Amino acid sequence: MTNWQATRPTSDQARAWARVRANLRESAGARLFDQWLKPMELIEGDEPDTVRLALPSAFATNWVRSHYADRLHLEFKAVLPEVRAVMIETRAPSRAAKLTSVETLDATPAPRAAVSRVEVSPEPVESDDQPSLFAVPTPAKPARPAPAPAPATRAAKVASVAPVPAVPLRSASDRPPLDPRLTFDRFVVDSSNRVAFNAALSLAEPGLPRFSPLFLHGGTGQGKTHLMHAIAHAFLESHPEAVVLCMSAERFMFDFVAAMRARDTHSFKTRLRSADLLLIDDLQFIAGKDSTQEEFFHTVNELVSAGKRLVISADRSPQSLDGVEPRIIGRLGAGLVADIKAPDLTLRRTILNRKVSDLPDIVVPNDVLDLLASRIRGNIRELEGALNRVVAYAQLTGEKIDLEFAVATLGEVLRGAQRRITIDEIQKLVSRHFELKPLDLVSARRARAIARPRQIAMYLAKRLTTRSLPEIGRKFGGRDHSTVIYAVRKIEELRDTDRDIDNAVRVLMKELEG
């Protein structure tokens, strides 16, 4: 393995780096480029398929790894097709640093993998010499020669310096960009999410924000992340030069801890508080993290005081966040709190229609869509996933999509999503809806005011439970299965001709499923 000193690159990689820097400056904007990407230097090595970049601080290194990993790889790949890996390392420009060549792991297995390492000269390191994240690296000053230490002394000094590993950049799944599909135009609005949608629209409008922060809360897969991405898209469209940061609360905590370990919390604070729009998802993950909550509270205060926009989401309301400091809850409650409720049957069906319209070459029958909308009730993400699974299986097998195919494909999904509804539950709800006693439904009385609700209850029992016709008949006063068949057919006919009956059945089904 050959050791080499960092030199001024003059190879194909250097020319490619010049083009990559120009592209990054144009796409990222001057402010972001100057803060994060300008200090980055190319370190030329002997491996043409590996590009090595260096930054002056560990925090800056982590940030670039997190936000520009794939972009850097794609940019270099476009100029130099032979590039298979991009490495990024921490190097202090004010000290002489001897770097050992690196072998990275890629798609082609290497015969031998070496561990990346940075060997720092054994001179004492003063914390004040650590460069600012935003400072442009300056040429290294020549180090004062020192006498060679004894082997034991040298080993002790080297051991006291923690190595900074040059690890491969993480995959795109760790650094999701704004999803281009998650815009306001593609958000399906109804009464369950209208307040949250209108609040998000208002916050994204140009001009001074009418409120900040905006706190969105709702269950998993209800559309919180969709609205947050939509806010970012709309805000960037009207403010192209704005600094927008979108992260999870877990990412906030990770970056803050990394900054503390690197003794570079100033850069972390500066980055977040310079944002024109900050979006933090899943706030519940910082519950019980005292130091993270302290920094989060001060970040919220700084942004709100400066008139910046702040959007936060969680799976519950601020007052229900256990393990979160009361002052944070009070600060969040001072803005606008908007909840997103679970989607009802109509909204679920509308969402499926929107998804199917994006698949012009795929035909999904209405009865399949009705099945998905009625059986997968609580989570929009699971609903869309079930549709995607049916479509994918049909494309892979070449089979036609119909109700039988959908049930066979989604067997365990449908069984897991289905809530067990009992006949007793149906009888109690129907009797309460029609202002009857539960005993009336199982009695022998045949007055229409009782017979019609009884038929509706039988119809619902057949539609919403797995009980057989004789079992349903026995639950309604020991009636014959033919009576149940007649009741089911009668209600089916009346739903087509009698609006009151149809509305009553819809209301009862929605309440039972909800």
Give the number of residues written for the chain.
Answer: 514
428 annotated ligand binder: no
Q: Are 405 and 390 in contact (CB under 8 A)?
A: yes
How many Cβ atoms are within 10 Å of 301's Cβ, its own excluded?
Answer: 14
Query: Is 45 annotated as contributing to ligand binding?
Result: no
Instruction: Judge whether 172 and 95 are in contact, CB under 8 Å.
Output: no
Query: What distance in Å separates the CA atoms of residue 286 and residue 268, rounded to the nearest whole number?
Result: 17
307 contact partners, CB below 8 Å, separation of at least 6: 208, 209, 212
Residues 138-159 as b or e (16 or more Cβ within 10 Å = b): eeeeeeeeeeeeeeeeeeeeee
| CA 203 from centroid of its chain's CA atoms | 20
- Residue 287 CA to residue 322 CA, distance in Å, equals 7
Task: Indicate the SS3 state at residue 402.
Answer: coil
For 47, residues 6+ apart whose C-beta sits below 8 A from its C-beta are: 101, 102, 103
CA distance 348 to 377: 8
Q: How many CA atoms lie within 13 A of 82 on its CB side?
A: 7
Q: Is 224 annotated as a binding residue?
A: yes
| Amino acid identity at 306 | A
Query: Per the annotation, where are the binding residues?
Result: 221, 223-225
Query: Per the annotation, where are the binding residues for ATP?
Result: 221, 223-225
